[in-house]
Amino acid sequence: MAHNGDPAPQGQGNRAVNEGMDETGAEIEPHTRESLLLGGRLRLVQPGRGYRAGMDAALLAAALRLKPGQRALEIGCGVGAALLQAAARNPEAAFWGVERDAEALALAQRNIALNALQDRVVAVPGQVAQGFRALGLRRADAAIANPPFFDDPGALRGPTPEKAGAWLADDGLDAWLGFLADAVKDGGQMLLIHRADRLGDILAGFAPRAGSIRVRPIQPYADQPAKRVVVKAVRGGRAPLVLLPPLVLHDRSGAKHTAEAEAILRGETALDWDQSA
């Protein structure tokens, strides 16, 4: 399960779901919580305890642009937060989600049905350690990931058992980058969101596999350093690296988000890759 560690950003309603059935007729697991994403257009059932997807998943989905008929894959899709938001943003594209945790995978499959996206979104079991080829899938036009933020358990105060898989990458960041590169066609795009202090490792990991890299820093406030980076690379790309202006999430006005961040989170615009450095 991929990590982002932020609370759900949209604030459009979270409610505990402890009994009964969802709209698909399936029984809802106890101790889950339903969130509304993209301005209420998307419903997502998540665990009530432990890891829950939030800001990072929303930004990753906002970074992906696909043409009609194209296919994308997400490795470590968790309960489907980024996967389903990306599908909603690209309504004429098909998506595969890959997840190793059985409980998260079951919720991802339920969320796909809850949003009536079964005709073009599928979630299947799989893990980074086995490699892309083990899935038996054709290479996609794009692959996305929100990898766990830590490789070394000693670098992190121990997360709760419910969060451990989302915080700690058993196979290391380079294995995730290799999976992304193997999953796309020549000329295909790879996208990930990660800690800003791992940017050097990301660039080094992509170097033998991809180029035409664009980096969008994500800053909490305009006067604070970036804590996240969204990185886009192209398999076989040769264009120079471009460092784009940052996305600033908050200002000092008292609003929850800046106007640009709010528009992205509500699905009214995408994360911009076309600005000049």
The confidence score (pLDDT) of residue 124 equals: 96
Write down the mean pLDDT value for the chain.
85
H/E stretch holding 234:
strand 228-235
Cα distances (angstroms) measured from residue 254 to each of 7, 13, 14, 37, 258: 18, 20, 22, 22, 10
Fill in the DSSP letter of residue 119. T
Question: What's the pLDDT tens digit per position in 18-29?
Answer: 434 444 444 555
Indicate if the pLDDT at residue 94 is higher than 90: yes
Indicate if the pLDDT at residue 275 is higher than 50: yes
The confidence score (pLDDT) of residue 92 equals: 97
Q: Which ranges of the chain does DSSP label H, i.e. alpha helix?
A: 55-63, 81-89, 102-114, 161-167, 173-183, 199-206, 259-265
CB count within 10 Å of CB 124 equals 16
| C-alpha atoms less than 13 angstroms from C-alpha of 273 in its C-beta half-sphere | 19
258 within 8 A of 250, measured Cβ to Cβ: yes
Indicate if the pLDDT at residue 199 is higher than 80: yes
Encode 253-273 in three state secondary structure: CCCCCCHHHHHHHCCCCCCCC
The confidence score (pLDDT) of residue 274 equals: 84
How far apart CA 80 and CA 39 sit, in angstroms, is: 17
- At residue 80 the predicted structure's pLDDT band, cuts being 50, 70 and 90, is very high
Say if strands 184-195 and 42-47 run parallel, antiparallel, or are unpaired: unpaired
- Phi first, then psi: what are they for 161, rounded to 5°? -55, -35
Question: What's the pLDDT tens digit per position in 233-242?
Answer: 999 999 999 9
The confidence score (pLDDT) of residue 52 equals: 66
Fill in the DSSP letter of residue 171. T
- At residue 16 the predicted structure's pLDDT band, cuts being 50, 70 and 90, is very low
| Residue in 243, 192, 237, 195 with CA at minimum distance from that of residue 215 | 243
In a 3-state reduction of DSSP, which class is residue 210?
A: strand
206 within 8 A of 147, measured Cβ to Cβ: no
In sequence order, the 6+-apart residues with CB closer than 8 A to the CB of 140 are 70, 71, 72, 73, 96, 183, 184, 185, 188
Give the percent of the chain with pLDDT over 90: 71
Indicate if the pLDDT at residue 76 is higher than 80: yes
> Taking the model in full, what pTM does it have?
0.83
**Across 188-201, average pLDDT:** 97
Q: Show the domains of the chain with their CATH numbers.
A: 14-265 (3.40.50.150)
Question: What's the pLDDT tens digit per position in 119-177?
Answer: 999 999 999 999 999 999 999 999 999 999 856 545 444 545 444 444 344 568 999 99
The confidence score (pLDDT) of residue 154 equals: 52
- At residue 255 the predicted structure's pLDDT band, cuts being 50, 70 and 90, is confident
In sequence order, the 6+-apart residues with CB closer than 8 A to the CB of 269 are 62, 260, 263
Tokens for 80?
């489907």
Tokens for 124?
């299947």
